[in-house]
Amino acid sequence: MVFLSWTRPTPKDQKDCINKSGTFNYDSKYRGVTAKPLSMLKEDKELSKDGFLINHSKILVGSGSDAYEKGKTALQTWRHFGLSWAFVDPKTPIEKGVKFCVCVKEFVPWLRMPLQIIYANETRSNKTSASFGFGGGTLGGHLLSGEERFSVEMDGDKQVWYEILSISKPAHPLSVIGYPYVFLRQKYFAHQSSDAVRKFVSSK
């Protein structure tokens, strides 16, 4: 099953996608794996053995506690998906168990891809270090199988970073055939999404 729309998906279209999506389309043993650091994922031989590829992007978007709070707000309001060709309903709450629909324009049709939030975490180790992030797992009807984390982090030097970390593999014949293209699109999304977050953080 693939969810296609010839015009920009309406709220009703997105809800229909979520209602028909069913359960997760990847092994439960990997549920929540993107909460781990990149270094641990690279050492996990099971991931590569099972056909998963790791995609990672980490970009400096600002500095200081105000920049961190704005970065957190950007994720909570889905500004990182505020693109002309990709979006998520900005009213979608960042809470464990919430299902959401990523809408992506590919050539003529729009793809609607269902996911569910696996976890949402915020940590504050001291006055100068904090992080906020959440991970979404793919559901039936998504072209890929896997999980993706979006996070913002303020390090000990008060620099604020936006990070995307995902594991994925094809879940549909279309993505099997075009996976090199899909992987490039993931890289392109990371670049555009980082720009969107950086602009929001730097805005007054």
Residue-number span of the structural domain to which 195 is assigned:
3-202
Q: Which residues contact 33 (CB under 8 A, 6 or more apart)?
A: 41, 44, 47, 147, 167
Whole-angstrom Cα Rg for the chain: 16
Number of domains in the chain: 1
Supply 41's token pair: 């994922």
Measured at the alpha carbon of residue 153, what is the angle toward residues 193 and 157, in degrees to the nearest 5? 125
Which pTM does this prediction carry?
0.94
Check whether 175 has a pLDDT greater than 80: no
Q: Which residues contact 70 (CB under 8 A, 6 or more apart)?
A: 62, 200, 201, 203
The CATH number of whichever domain residue 174 belongs to comes to: 3.30.530.20
CA distances, 197 to each of 63, 141, 159, 192 (Å): 13, 28, 14, 9
Predicted local distance difference test score (pLDDT) of residue 120: 98
Work out the mean pLDDT of the chain and round it to a whole number.
93
Q: What is the mean pLDDT of residues 182-199?
A: 92
Query: 198 with 162: CB under 8 angstroms?
Result: yes
Q: What is the mean pLDDT of residues 74-90?
A: 96
Q: What is the mean pLDDT of residues 99-106?
A: 94
